[in-house]
Structure 1
Amino acid sequence: MGFWQHLAESYDKNADAFKKTYPLSTTTISNNGDMIIIIVIDGNGKFIRYDKIEKKSNPSLKSPGNPLVNITIPVTEESMGRSSGISPHPIFDQYEYLKGEGKKYDAYMGQLKDFSESSFSTEKVKAIYNYIKKKTVASDLSEIGIKDKTNIIFQVEIQGQLQSKVWEDEIFFYAWHQYYLDIKAKRAEEKKKAQKMLTDKLKLSSGEKKQLKEQTRFKDAISLDYIEGNDKEPAAIFHPKKISIRNAANAKLVSDNDDENYTFRGKFEDSSQAVSIGYESSQKAHQFLRYLINDRGYYCGEQVILSFTIGSTEKLLPPPVENDSLSAIIHSSGFKTENDIQTELRANMGLDYAEALRKSLDSFKYGNTLEKHAKTAVIALDASTKGRLSITFYRELDRNEYLERIADWHEGCKWKQQFWDKENQKFVFYIGAPSVDKIIEAVHGKPRGGEDKSYTKIKKAARERLLRCIFDGAFLPMDFVIAALRRVSNPLGITKQNKFDRNRFEQVVSTACALVRKDYKQRKKEDYKLSIELDRTDRDYLYGRLLGAADKLEEYALYKQGKDRMVTAAIRHMQAFTQHPFRTWQTIHSCLNPYIQKVKKSYGFRELQAIMDKFIPGDYEKDVPLNGSFLIGYYHERAYIDSFTNVSDKNKNLNEKTGTEDSNE
């Protein structure tokens, strides 16, 4: 029960912030499928007017559209999970419950009457009851084409009270929750007494027996709360759905006890003996989970990844992975957040994010007083079906350990990365680990378009495996590394509009290099530098450098000729090159010869010769497949040539940067 206990505890620690936004014994309705009607009355229950929250619509050229609006409403356990039958909400409900006739109206009015006449009632509740019992809802809304399923909420204008919107009234929600707790406790006590009288086999009349059986129909019971350890509070009978998981609105994390089939029979006398969770504890845990998902959820289809600081009153930690930028998320005063560092990235291209993260982490650890024994939880939830939600990943880490492991991931998997700066409409470079989604794209490619369910399934599983690498220190899956290398070795398969996409290819190369570096560091205890290693004599690395030099030199020559959209020989033959480098290099070199003189009188020859001279005798002639280090060499060589070639200003050529003359000029 640690998971549930931590959720409930965190709700308690942040209760003041949640009283209005996530009150207990509530759920939400929205204008997503239909409009919402607001009935405005005065303190005596007299109708004043009605307003509408129009159905959500997307903006168009003719209309700005209507935004999505979520309204918090009070519920009972039965109404919270209703799908059919008669289970009225306490105050706000659908038109069919309020229109003044039928069994649904009778059930709604009976429940509202009890609440209105209780000691927990408020002025607004009494005003609503006085209005509803007049049975004028249908006539008051006769001008509207209203449906039975249209939701109706109330606004009560009382002189001297500033808050007239009942759905935003904290006192109202608190009153309902306390009333409902009291009702559940009374039901449980009545049930207990009735069961005792029936089992004692007293001489009872048929009427008395019928009355006692009626009192036992409620499932409410006072039993041990496995979360709080309290045995004096009513237990939860039905647990909330609508936990805000996309495409699975009715998914439940806790199923209700089934007292009719085989869930507990043969082991226990009743369902509460199997396991029980207190009603209030269940509400707190589910509401805090809703908050995490709504405010900090990182989605993939129906999968969501979360993290939070257990029981902390500080600002809560955001999720440990991000969709389209840097994956380390840190918080707290005196500590640079991701936004802070991204601001620096815009001003300082190529910032070593991993190094900045480590320094900022040290400042955070030693410059701030952490809450004693503070822990951080990382959770992955997934809806396998529309009605079932499961916890697929859960880890509890000390706060420092959480931050350390994110920093270690960035340090071990860092490479030069880029992300699209929407604000300034340009690519920004940084040194750090690629985002989880970029890794998955490098390994599995992009989805086929539309709703690719098979790709979503693969993506979910990949994210969970990567979470284990980040937070458990597990080795990077070897199949990820191999798949990324195979994909990048077939560059012509990386396309946009059926043409080779150089930008995407280079992003995949950067990601694959990060994976190779991490893999070598973990399995072979070998660390590659981020810049070229001119003294390295490794055959695979040198062949990668040859390929990078050939690619860059031909790319530049094609640009000079105005043919920069042509694909270089190095790219065309890359797949064959990884399998038979010696044989394929002869083909690539023969394609390159015409360009060497066009690029530069002697540079092309000298650079290729310098690489050739690094081979240990006999290595160059080996025509066996290359390992992952060839990609590191390929990347390093291209970056090395870029380091003295102004790639951002293509009006200047290679000769101007090195002081030699072009043979054509």
Structure 2
Amino acid sequence: MSWMKRLYDVYENNSDKVGDFNKRGEGQPFTLLPVSHVTQSAQIEIKLDLDGNFFKAIVIPKDKARTILPATLDSANRAGSKVAAYFLHDKVFYVAGDYLKYGGAEKRAGNYSQYINQMKEWAKSEFTHRKVELIYNYVKKGTVIEDLISAKILFEDENGKLVEKWTRQDDEKYGIEKPEIYKVVTGDSSEATVRFTILSETPEDPVVWEDKELFGKYQQYLANKMDKVVEVGLCYVTGQIMPLTDRHGSRLRNAGDMSKLISSNDKQGFTYRGRFDNPNQAVQIGYDVSQKAHNAMRWLIQRQGYRSDTRNFITFGVESLIDIQPFDGTLGMLDHPLASIFETETIVTEKDNTSLVIAEQVQQAFQGKKHTFRLGGIKSIVVMAVDAATTGRLAIVYYQELESNLFLDRLAHWHGTCKWYQSYYDVANKKMVGYIGTPSTYQIVEAVYGERTDDKIKKELYTRLLPCIVDYAMIPKDIVLTIFNRIKNPMSFKNDLSSPTGEWQRTLGIACAIIRKHYEKEEINMALDLENKSRDYLFGRLLGVAEVLERNELNRRGEKRATNAMRYFNAFSQRPARTWMTIRRQLHPYQVRQGEKIWFQNKLIREIEADIQVEDMNNDALGPMFLLGYSSQVKELYTKTELKKENENADN
């Protein structure tokens, strides 16, 4: 139960944030929920005056629909046709006493009575609240649907029955376009969730679903009831005596998620029969602890989680929240404006970004994080992933808890060993800008499988990469071979291969970073290694020289076609000696035409060929190291060309 204790601690350490709504990007507002409360998306808002009379009603925009509802154990876990009312806010067929009058289904006859009876009990208790009393006095009149029809939110037909669904024929029938409520409700109009609020006496008076004083009153009311009917025992998470529960939270990943991390069922499925008589003999968890732990997980997923298909990943500090995530690449680690380059079309650049600056900033960033963690008292970091195998069962598929210093050391190691020359296109200045860094996990997954791969495959790769990031694990060989086989076929990539802005060029940098990480023990340099005499590396260098030589000639002539090195890339990796002879012959016209202008490239080719042992000049397929030799050689030659141009400009 360590995961539950850590989440419980997160809730306790951030209790001051309960009820405070925040927003992440363009998503729905979220908050750390109070105990015994849930969130729902409401579609209708009814505002009452200070005497509890109907004042007005509106259809709620989707971006403002998130509403906190006081909940019982039954209502928080209700599904299907189960009758279990929330307090205060609920669906129309729960809060409307005139639901049957307007043609409501008889099977729902008991919904309103349960809702109004429990509302009466709270409103008449010692833990009531002025707003609760006003809402109760209104809903007990039984005129909710009537008032919504008068406000032209809902509509009745010629028989006085509620119009549940709006069709095209209704546009002509009623002489109006489809009303807003029928656009936002996916089912019948009576299934719309209604929330209530009161006209404010002062500007500081919060709306009902954000009133922290009201939250506290409900918690007192519910705790007083539970003390009389709920079993009290030892909580296995905290070791304290408290009210227990065998029903735990759902809707952890999103509002429609009914899967649970903890559940029991002996009547169907025989979960514990033969070993225990009841669920609490298997494990005892306090109600308060369960509520806080599940609310903390829900909040963390919404606040800083990462989702891939049905799997959610979260990284958090137990003592205090953190802003560092293992899935971030180098730019993301530095809060660089280009961190979201692969997720958005709008790109903002910095002109002074050099490889050296980026490399130094990464190490400085980790030192800064360590200092920040010490000041914040952050001792423990938890990395976890959850996924649902079925609609009702949620599982923790990855869990790792580390000391904060160890966590940062492992992240620094990942960013120091899984890096290569990366690039992005500077739209403002219309040029490629390079840096040395680690690709984000998102970029790695897209590079390994491509953007069209099934999301279920991608989420597994995210999970498999986590141990490589936080456990010093080696990148699995099948991942290396998959991206190697993909990059060997440059002609299968979209965009112009002659352009450094193309997808293949970006994928090559990511592939080299992964390969370098896989061969971490060999301590491969990113700079061209003239002492590396391995067969794969030398053949890669040969192809790199051929690529640059022909590309320069094609650029001089204004041609945009792929070079022979690109066209024969896959064949070269499969049968290097034979294919090299073909490429060598096709380079000859360029060599003759340029003569002494390319003496350096010609000399380089001869030197590399001489370094390849006679017995290695064969057609055995090349391994992934071939890409490192190719990339380093191309980078070296282009760097020399750029320096030469700069010197010439300086002389002039």
Give the structure-1-normalised TM-score.
0.81
What is the one-letter code of the residue matched to 2:93? E
Give the conservation status (yes or no) of the 8 Å contact 1:489–1:574: yes
Cα distance in 2 for residues equivalent to 1:155 and 1:38: 7
Query: Which residue number in structure 1 is paired with residue 343 of structure 2?
Result: none
Structure 1 position 362, deviation (Å): 3.0
Amino acid at match of 1:479: D
Match of 2:392 in 1: 387
CA distance in 2, matches of 1:167, 1:425: 50
User: What's 1:180 paired with?
Assistant: 222
Residue correspondence of structure 1 range 41-440 to structure 2 within 5 A: 41-54=48-61, 56=62, 67=63, 69-83=65-79, 84-101=81-98, 102-142=109-149, 143-145=152-154, 147-157=189-199, 159-160=201-202, 162-188=204-230, 221-231=231-241, 233-245=242-254, 249-258=257-266, 262-312=270-320, 315-322=321-328, 325-326=329-330, 329=333, 337=335, 347-351=352-356, 353-365=358-370, 369-370=374-375, 374-419=379-424, 428-440=433-445
Kindly report which structure 2 residues correspond to 1:457-606, keeping only aligned pairs within 5 A, or say none. Answer: 457-496=456-495, 503-521=502-520, 525-564=521-560, 566-598=561-593, 600-606=594-600
1:274-327 CA deviation, whole Å, 9 max, x = no partner?
Answer: 112211111111111111111111111111111000132xx43443214xx537
Provide the rounded CA distance (Å) in 2 between the counterparts of 1:655 and 1:311: 55
CA distance in structure 2 between the partners assigned to 1:270 and 1:544 by the alignment? 66
Contact 2:330 2:415 in 1 (8 A): no
SS in 1 for 2:247: coil
Count matched residues: 585
Q: 1:191 corresponds to which residue?
A: none
Shift of 1:595: 2.2
Aligned to 2:603: 609
Decide whether aligned partners of structure 1 residues 640 and 44 sit closer, same or farther in structure 2, where only a CA change above 3 A counts: same
Alignment partners' CA distance in 1, 2:56 and 2:371: 60
Name the CA distance, whole Å, in 2 between partners of 1:502 and 1:348.
17
Aligned residue in 2 for 1:63: none
Aligned amino acid, residue 238 of structure 1:
R
The residue matched to 1:307 in structure 2 has which SS? Answer: strand
User: Cα RMSD (Å) of the superposition?
Assistant: 3.1
TM-score (norm 2): 0.83
Q: What residue identity is the alignment partner of 1:172? A: L
CA distance in 1, matches of 2:296, 2:392: 20
Q: Residues 278 and 422 of structure 1: is their aligned pair in 2 closer, same or farther, counting only changes over 3 Å?
A: farther
List alignment gaps of at least 5 residues for structure 1.
57-66, 189-220, 330-335, 449-454, 660-665
Change (3 A) 1:260 1:327: farther
SS of the residue corresponding to residue 234 of structure 2 reads coil
Cα deviation, 1:429-466, whole Å, max 9, x if unaligned, reads 32122221222233223315xxxxxx212111111111
Q: Is the contact made by 1:541 and 1:633 (CA closer than 8 Å) also made in structure 2?
A: yes
Equivalent pair of 2:57/2:153 in contact (CA under 8 Å): no
Aligned in 2, Cα 1:398/1:129: closer, same or farther, shift over 3 Å? same
Equivalent of residue 26 in structure 1, options 37, 42, 53: 37
Identity %: 33
Instruction: Tell me the CA shift for residue 626 of structure 1.
Output: 2.1
What CA distance in whole angstroms lies between the structure 2 residues aligned with 1:186 and 1:309? 37
1:610 Cα deviation after fit: 2.4
Cα distance per residue 1:71-94 (max 9 Å; x no partner) = 222211111121222111011011
Distance 1:125 1:423 in 2: 57
The AA in structure 2 aligned to 1:123 is R
More deviation in 414-423 or 388-397?
414-423
1:501 to partner: Cα distance: 9.2
Deviation at 1:106, TM superposition (A): 0.6
Shift of 1:68: 5.7
The answer to whether the 8 A contact 1:307-1:317 is kept is no
2:14 matched to which residue of 1? 14
Contact 1:495-1:501 within 8 A present in 2 as well: no
Structure-2 change in CA distance of 1:602 and 1:656 (3 Å): farther
Residue 404 to residue 152, structure 1, CA distance change in 2 (3 Å): same
Question: In structure 2, do the counterparts of structure 1 residues 263 and 124 end up closer, same or farther at CA, with 3 Å as the change threshold?
Answer: same
CA contact (8 A) 2:317 2:378 kept: no
> Residues of 1 paired with 2:246 and 2:324: CA distance?
32
What amino acid sits opposite 1:295 in the alignment?
Answer: R
Q: Equivalents in 2 of 1:272, 1:51: separation in Å?
A: 46
Structure 2: runs of 5+ lacking an equivalent: 21-30, 99-108, 156-188, 341-347
Q: What SS does structure 1 have at the residue aligned with 2:233?
A: coil
C-alpha separation in 1, matches of 2:369 and 2:118: 53
Contact 1:155/1:164 (CA < 8 Å) preserved in 2?
no
